Amino acid sequence: MPLLPTRPTPVPGEMKASYIVLRNFRSSTRDAFGSALGLPGIQPFNTFVDSVPSLRIETLDHRDIPSVTQDADVAAIAPVMPVRLIQPMGDAAVVPAAPGSVTWGVQAVRADTSPFTGNGVVVAVLDTGIDPTHAAFQGVSLVQKNFTTEADHDLDGHGTHCAGTIFGRDVGGTRIGVAPGIQKALIGKVLGASGGSSAGIADAIYWALENGADVISMSLGIDYTGYVAQLQAAGFPVELAVSRALEGFRLNLGLFSAMATVVRQRSALVRPALLIAAAGNESRRDVDSSFEVGVGVPAVAEGFHAVGALRQATGGLRLASFSNTGANLCAPGVSIDSARLGGGLRSLSGTSMATPHVAGVAALWAERIRRFRTLTLGEWTTRLAGSATLSPLHPEIDFSDIGLGLVQAPQE
């Protein structure tokens, strides 16, 4: 069963819908995270701070939002919006393993020459789930939780591919994982055949934090056009549906930014964590060089690391034509070989494929810092961002598309 609603429930006339409300309850009123949803008791942060951030789903009239936001305990409020998989671009080609080979993405981020493997780092992958029987994940402790109405395992293969790039073991002698020394991974299935919801993503982020995630990787985005269609199907005229969807997009941006603030506060008191998300594949520079779409939610939210995709080209790496503009960092995202649902390898392209490269490099930096001193969010973020390089990139690349550049694994 889903933990949170997957569809908004607007009713013309009453104007009611499901809203995600992030509240900071005082210590005197601490209760289990998600208790309003009937979930098992989990008490986030209450040993460490005076207030308990708690997500709740509340059915509200649209006109009540201004009064709700005036409540001192409310940190953010946003309508439940559909979330979709950032679909890979092009055909998914099955590729043969080649003993002794290393994928070009692993080489480009220099993980193959790094003395670090991600040992001791916990990574969370919020996606379509995972194929736990795949050879790439043997020996990894997989903690799985299903936030959809589908079967627990991966039915799409997208999550399996992304997880393989982050921490997959060699498959048939081919190295596919950036951080193959990771021993524990949290696998949140937040996307099914019909997508997911912003409420489910928010819930899964908290779940990952409560289970000790250091890195949280997300290759997904808010489905703005899908929300417009849902509102129209519920009876809203097109102008009102577009207006309401725009407001919902803005409020969800604020919600995820507020959640990132909670993560930063928790990082200083409990355990640092990084939020890494795909920039999106909506740009079409192959059709028109000016056809550029900006980074979507949640990647564009403050506190998230938005990842763009690079491709191999003569004269240096270039931005993938589909990669959305405004990313913070970039990584290989075209023709990436990784774990295939059911076994073996397949090649996919997308910012979804670039994101796990950054997540893996972040894990390597976390291990490196911990080897010498206590890991802090400030140093970790600085080291990851500071590793980014422009040297392998084509000189004509647009810096507004790639952020600081191509992330690099620590070498010593």
Residues that are catalytic = 127, 158, 352
Cβ atoms of residues 358 and 308 within 8 Å: no
d(CA 87, CA 134): 22
Q: Which residue has the tokens 């191999």?
A: 312
Verify cis geometry, omega within 30 degrees of 0, for the bond prior to 8. no
Cβ atoms of residues 219 and 351 within 8 Å: yes
Neighbours of 66 (CB within 10 A): 8
d(CA 399, CA 330): 11
Neighbours of 87 (CB within 10 A): 12
d(CA 168, CA 138): 9
Q: How far is CA 88 from CA 181, 315, 318, in A?
A: 26, 25, 18
Cβ atoms of residues 351 and 86 within 8 Å: yes
d(CA 84, CA 160): 17
Q: Which residue has the tokens 């390597």?
A: 364
d(CA 267, CA 272): 4
Cβ atoms of residues 88 and 338 within 8 Å: no
Cβ atoms of residues 123 and 257 within 8 Å: no
